[in-house]
Amino acid sequence: MNRALYLMILVFGMVLALSAAAEVRLLLEGGGQAPQQFPETRLAERQQMVEQQITARGVSAEDVLNVMRAVPRHWFVPERLQRRAYADHPLPIGHGQTISQPYIVAVMTEELGVGRGDRVLEVGTGSGYQAAVLAALGVDVVSIEIIEPLAETAAERLEHRGFGSIRLLHGDGYYGDPEHAPYDAIIVTAAAGHVPPPLIEQLKPGGRMVIPVGRAGWTQNLLRVEKTGDGKTRTRNLMAVSFVPLTGDH
């Protein structure tokens, strides 16, 4: 390779790196409300995750792609699994629960169709990653976790990482959170046997819910449920998925 060509490639690579870093720094100024600037640590892995796992499978909403590039997934993965933080599959987080595959997080976020100022209920906080992604979109997030140690750990992690505005509750998410209802959207990150009626009641007219429905241990259907102005629902089957079951007394 001659020297001129080598220098051109080197400069082009530097421009791409600076552009990616600037995108992360400017993301929250233009489209998100997470209260701190995201670090550039492992940024290349996040870029690769988005390009190879998410956009390649059809997710196209630019705001969703931006937050998936920006929010460090490794913050929400156990220390022993750090090397696999950006892998194309779910990872265990303890207590029989998982952090979802990055692609599934992106799909569910895109299907919610939310933006700055919307109020969203998340059922199943888990590690806190999905809540952080939503908060980075400028969304007002209420998140419920039934497993108390996970709720406590997620609350500490989110506070430490600058997401203290997320309301994190310990309780049975099947029944939602009427205190902060109605919601523009609801996201359920565990598989229910059916769509919980209390969650439908807490959706605004025109609101959307994304929820996996089906038997535990089997393939489930990821559904997008929209509440119409007259209180009825329209349901669309998005894809086959496999989630841990929604637990609780119901």
Catalytic residues, by residue number, are 100
- The type of residue at 247 is T
Spatial separation of the C-alpha atoms in residues 171 and 149, rounded to whole Å? 12
How many residues would you count in the chain?
250
Residue spans of alpha helices (H) in the chain: 3-31, 43-49, 62-70, 102-112, 129-136, 148-160, 197-202
Tell me whether strands 97-99 and 91-94 are parallel, antiparallel or unpaired. Answer: antiparallel
Do the Cβ atoms of 105 and 77 come closer than 8 Å?
no
Spatial separation of the C-alpha atoms in residues 224 and 239, rounded to whole Å? 10
What are 220's two structure tokens? 């489930």
